[in-house]
Amino acid sequence: MMIVSPMRLYPFLGLTMLTIIFTALFFPFPYMNTPIDSIALLLFFIVSVLLNAYPIRLKETYVSLVPLVHLFIFLQYGFLIELMVSQISLFLFILFSQYQWKIKHFFFHCLIFWMSLMSALSYYVVEAMFPYTLIGDIPLIPIVAYIATSFFTNHVILNWTLWIRRLPLSTFTWEELRWNVVTHCLAIPISALLIVVYEYGFGLFGALVITIPILIIAYIFKLVNDVEEANQQLKTIHELTSSFTSELNLEKNLDALVQAIQDIQTYDMCYIYRLNEKRQQLDPIRIDVRDTFHRRYATSETLSSDAGIASQVIQKTKPIIINRETELYLAKGRPNINVPIKSLMAVPLKTKEEVVGVIFLAKLKENGFSKKDVTLLEIMAHHAATSIHNAYIYQQTERRALKDELTGLFNYRGFEQRLEKAIEHAQQFEYPLALLILDIDYFKEVNDQFGHLTGNKVITHIATLIQSHVRQEEDVVARYGGEEFTILLPHTSQDTAYGIADRLRVAIQSAPVSVTDDLHSGKEVLIRNTVSIGVAVYPLHADDALSLVRHADRAMYVGAKQRGRNRVAVYEQNEGGTSA
């Protein structure tokens, strides 16, 4: 529900109501002294409704021809009649296109009132100052003032009402401003022509001759725009398909999909989720939010796939479109991203065999999506699903090739890749990079006495302890081989690295692991482990990756293992050679 600040709302309402009363008293009602052609007025009223309902669309720019008709009505019948036609035509348009009346529609009517009032005032003031005419009794300069005021007050008062409603202010592209200026300028000669035709002998028939082509032009623009838009959409889908067939990179595929969606559809938020069948959940793999106002509503949380709109899309493998303000749920028990979404489109990412994900597009306005939009998104999702799924499988396979199956840490190959990148980064930004090599003491005896399954349990136990003592986002932990581990510590000096290594040594010594003695008694036993750790730091002890590993390894064996184990040693270099 829209929240409006009373401190902003009440003064605006009071000012509007007082102005309406003053206006009704100041302007005499036209029926008292102006003859009204009811049939002609009804005709132009119908034209006004139609032009409201079918504005010219140029890509994402909507251009209304309503000012052409409203200026004629104002010049012919006065301000109050023009205001009545404007308000009633807007009311009917909202009535037939919206599900229910809302407070925001009241602001639209207020906007129309202020725009009509300011335009009329500018007309009368300028008319008093410049009573010149161009054709007969048509006051050209006041008409120009009327149109200019209508143009500027439309944008100024629109942003005023948005500010009152705590919504982001409206911004206009050059394309929008250019076409708005053109249509307002067209209103001057066309309205003058309507008056001349209507007043000088042709009457209602002449007005029809001028008015009907206006509607035809609007309709032709609509057809041309639809054809151009369809061609652009086909081109976008073709380019998307081509990019998918040549890529197995998940991020590039997602970039291509989001870009394609942006090219053919406007939205406030786009969510792409991958279905994790093992965990029965939807994992977000891409989120795109259009501006900072909507970004505050975004979330990157994982969704349950057992209920809500997500479940309906997955189970029925069909899209869902909702174009009204309602309680929307993407998943069970969770409101729709805690955001006042009023339009939602959900389309499955479906391969030939199964649903592998869901695309959600959301808008903060009603009636934001059409059946045509759903069809286009379905076509893109169909082409995207297989490529994204294959890219994800390929990515997971690559990751598994770099991970140790027992501990989930990087393996030797993964460590080497991370080490090379870490050295390059440290060289580029000139910061220290510490390397710790850790070896479990007397590990062979554990295997011999309790068996390899127990040995594996010890390794996973120590791997968990190591991970709990490092920075999760920055440090790199790997199982280097057998019972050896490596730890990369970026931005870490020798003294800091030594402190981290010693705290880790004490933590491992103080945390025995409970195992079952399957080879002998079958009872639970506690195994206390100790480790020997070698430390080397780039660029203090080495100037490349190979030297850094060799020196940390030597520090561990010579400085820690050979000097009694259960200790930390830092690489040192002396005159007689290298020792630790």
DSSP 299-351: ----EESSSHHHHHHHHH-S-EEE-S-----SBTTB-STTS---EEEEEEEE-
> Is residue 158 predicted with pLDDT exceeding 90?
no
**Cα 167 to chain center, whole Å?**
18
Average pLDDT over residues 134-138: 60
Q: How many other C-beta atoms lie within 10 A of the C-beta of residue 393?
A: 13
Secondary structure of residue 159 in the 3-state scheme: helix
Secondary structure of residue 573 in the 3-state scheme: strand
Determine whether 299 is exposed, middle or buried from the number of CB atoms within 10 Å of its CB (0-12, 13-18, 19+): middle
Quick: pLDDT tens for 486-502.
Answer: 999 999 999 999 999 99
Lowest mean pLDDT among 395-399, 447-451, 467-471: 395-399
> Is residue 49 predicted with pLDDT exceeding 60?
yes
**Cα 182 to chain center, whole Å?**
33
Question: Which residue has better confidence, 194 or 553?
Answer: 553
Instruction: Tell me the sheet residues that pair with 276.
Output: 281
> Is residue 180 predicted with pLDDT exceeding 70?
no
Average pLDDT over residues 30-42: 61
Mean pLDDT of the chain: 77
Task: Give the angle subtended at the CA of 54 by the CAs of 51 and 58, to the nearest 5°.
Answer: 115
Look at residue 11 in the predicted model and tell me its pLDDT.
Answer: 72
Look at residue 331 in the predicted model and tell me its pLDDT.
Answer: 45
Quick: pLDDT tens for 85-106.
Answer: 777 777 776 666 654 556 666 6
Lowest mean pLDDT among 32-36, 84-88, 360-364: 32-36
Lowest mean pLDDT among 101-110, 466-475, 518-527: 101-110
Average pLDDT over residues 323-334: 52
Question: Which residue has better confidence, 408 or 32?
Answer: 408
Q: Which of 139-143, 388-392, 432-436 shows the highest mean pLDDT?
A: 432-436
Question: Which residue has better confidence, 509 or 162?
Answer: 509
Look at residue 31 in the predicted model and tell me its pLDDT.
Answer: 42
Q: How many other C-beta atoms lie within 10 A of the C-beta of residue 217?
A: 12
The active-site residue, picked from 82, 366, 483, 484, is 483
> Is residue 50 predicted with pLDDT exceeding 90?
no
> Is residue 255 predicted with pLDDT exceeding 80?
yes
Is residue 483 flagged as an active site residue?
A: yes
Look at residue 132 in the predicted model and tell me its pLDDT.
Answer: 63
CA distance 163 to 515: 67
Question: Which residue has better confidence, 104 or 512?
Answer: 512
Question: Which residue has better confidence, 559 or 312?
Answer: 559
Contact 113, 153 (CB under 8 A): no
Lowest mean pLDDT among 55-69, 151-165, 215-229: 55-69
**Cα 343 to chain center, whole Å?**
14
Task: Give the angle subtended at the CA of 141 by the CAs of 135 and 144, to the nearest 5°.
Answer: 110
Look at residue 9 in the predicted model and tell me its pLDDT.
Answer: 63
Distances (CA, A) of 348 to 237, 298, 328, 392: 17, 20, 17, 17
Q: Is the pTM of this model over 0.95?
A: no
Q: Which helix (H) or strand (E) holds 430?
A: none
> Is residue 380 predicted with pLDDT exceeding 90?
no
